[in-house]
Amino acid sequence: MSTYKWQWPAVGHSKVVEFLDKAGRNGKIAQTYIFCGRDDLAKNALAVAFAKNLQGGRSGFDSDLYILEREAGKKGISISQAREFIKTLHLSSFLDSYKIGIIKEADLLSEEAKSALLKTLEEPQDKVIIVLLVQDESGLPATILSRSQILYFNPVPAAVIYDYLIDNYGTGRTLAKDIANLALGRPLVAVDWLNNPETYQKYLEKATFWLRSLPENTHNRLQALDKIFNDRSWSALAVQSAGEVVDLAEGLSRDLFLLSLGQPDRIQFSAVVKDLEKVLVHLEHATTNSGLAILAQLKHIAQAREYLEANVNPRLVLEQLIINI
């Protein structure tokens, strides 16, 4: 019997880790797992760790690990990709052990690809494990859900990410707090910002530009928008980038609301708290009720998100948002 001790990523998702670890120790491995949760919650990292554990931590395990993901520029995963993936999983194991297939964004499988996958699940093969990564399981048919073990990934508490950054990276307490708050429960985002400080600073600059534009006139607001988002195309990348700006605006407005309620310890953008406080003072002087003004901001932001989902020009959506907010 192997004495290998299963290894897992060091931060978050203790319930999922405990469940999989126990299943491995007891030899009760399901054929199909669905890892369900927001992106950047380390679903893929944990799936790869699970695969390595199934191989006993042996070197060369990548030969029996297959990852299926959407091709660049494509909206979904095609039937031809799915068939090749399934065909590969049915080949003999290189290590005479488990063969593991991970499908990223599995809810983006085409209908034909989902049907092909279902046929594979209906005819299980010994020691073939499939892990489907999704944000929302509703994107998969009930026939696949019923044949799968569903594990939910929730945002990792900021306090856990904070301790992880300090204990594993020697991060200063202030920086660890700011990054942990800003990461919104996504440990991979936190680590990426720590390893790429320029990316982190650019994100904070966008937040600062947005906040400082709010007391300004329309002309100055549009100039600020150019520093945050200057893509005037209608591409998928532009829509995605505009959605990130909307998310940024929503997070800042929520923080303003929390500050108005006297709850500074709960804000996300603690790194730019001074700019938040200045905007709040401006709102308190410019309006009779700052709380209602901030709720109006959030309403405009929700409407902007609806416009993006309806395929309205992303630049136009953001121009209207920054003018009206």
Q: For the domain that residue 61 is a member of, what is the CATH number?
A: 3.40.50.300
Using 50, 70 and 90 to split pLDDT, how confident is the model at 320?
very high
Percent of the chain with pLDDT over 70: 98
Q: Are residues 204 and 261 in the same domain?
A: yes
Q: Are residues 20 and 146 in the same domain?
A: yes
Structure tokens belonging to residue 128: 């073939």
Task: Tell me the H-state helices in the chain.
Answer: 14-26, 43-54, 79-89, 111-122, 142-145, 158-169, 173-182, 187-195, 197-213, 218-228, 236-260, 273-286, 290-309, 314-324
Residue 102 CB partners (closer than 8 Å, separation 6+): 44, 47, 48, 51, 65, 66, 67, 68, 130, 131, 133
Predicted pLDDT of residue 59: 65
Range of the domain at 130: 14-152
The yes-or-no verdict on residue 284 having pLDDT over 50 is: yes
Using 50, 70 and 90 to split pLDDT, how confident is the model at 60?
low
| Cα 117 from chain centre | 25
The yes-or-no verdict on residue 152 having pLDDT over 90 is: yes
Predicted pLDDT of residue 3: 65
- The mean pLDDT value for 294-319 works out to 97
Query: Which segment of 2-11, 153-162, 204-213 scores lowest on mean pLDDT?
Result: 2-11
What pairs with residue 34 in β-bridges? 132, 150
Q: Are residues 55 and 78 in the same domain?
A: yes
Q: In whole angstroms, give the CA distance from residue 208 to residue 64.
A: 47
Higher pLDDT, 74 or 197: 197
Q: Are residues 129 and 222 in the same domain?
A: no
Q: Are residues 36 and 135 in the same domain?
A: yes
In whole numbers, what is the pLDDT of the chain averaged over residues?
Answer: 92
Q: Are residues 164 and 102 in the same domain?
A: no
Predicted pLDDT of residue 1: 41
The count of domains in the chain is 3
Inter-helix orientation angle 43-54/14-26, to 10°: 20
- 128-134 and 99-103 as β-strands: parallel, antiparallel, unpaired? parallel
The yes-or-no verdict on residue 66 having pLDDT over 80 is: yes
Residues 63 and 98: beta-carbon distance below 8 Å:
no
- The mean pLDDT value for 120-131 works out to 90
Q: Are residues 289 and 235 in the same domain?
A: yes
pTM: 0.80
Using 50, 70 and 90 to split pLDDT, how confident is the model at 123?
confident
Residue 7 inside a domain? The answer is no
- The mean pLDDT value for 113-128 works out to 90
Q: Are residues 99 and 139 in the same domain?
A: yes
Q: Are residues 82 and 109 in the same domain?
A: yes
Q: Are residues 98 and 220 in the same domain?
A: no
The yes-or-no verdict on residue 180 having pLDDT over 90 is: yes
Percent of the chain with pLDDT over 90: 79
- The mean pLDDT value for 225-244 works out to 93
- The mean pLDDT value for 151-167 works out to 94
Predicted pLDDT of residue 158: 94
What pairs with residue 120 in β-bridges? none
Reported as a single tens digit per residue, the pLDDT across 260-280 is 999 999 999 999 999 999 999
Higher pLDDT, 24 or 208: 208
